[in-house]
Copies of this chain bind each other. A is one copy, B any other.
Amino acid sequence: MQYFMKLAIAEAQKAAARGSVPIGALVVRNRSLISSAGNEVVKNHDPTAHAEILAIRKACSSLKSHIIDDCDIYVTLAPCPMCAKAISLARIRRLYFGAYDAERGAEFRMLLPKTQIIGGVLEIQCMKILQNFFSERRT
């Protein structure tokens, strides 16, 4: 669990390095990495290019199915409602996330009635990447 979250953190760090909000996500099946992505909203001119959406799209493309119910997703931050619904539409089995989103609270939960959710995985590390990114931008 921590192994895969560390890989998601590495994706978040790559996003930060290119000036994007540092959030990373990956899709995993049977302990194998299927896809990974970091936030690309600004770089790609795409408001839907959150890490989760990109990781899900890549995984579905590589598995040739819009349903990936034997897969799990790891993401460094609790998903927004767009991503939560996408996780639900793809019927992903389990969501592991790192940092909780204090601003949004738990609004994603009701969009994921059938998904097992494990929050707070490497929470401090996941949160710190975001805090560092935004504090550097403020100065």
Contact = CB atoms under 8 A, between A and B. Distances in A.
A60 interface: yes
Interface stretch (A6-14, A63-71, A95-103, A131-139): A63-71
A61 B57 CA distance: 17
Interface residues of A, number: 28
A71 to B, nearest CB: 11
A127 to B, nearest CB: 22
Interface in A66-104: 66-67, 80-86, 89-90
A49 B56 CA distance: 11
Interface of A: 41-42, 44-49, 53, 56-57, 60-61, 63-67, 80-86, 89-90, 111
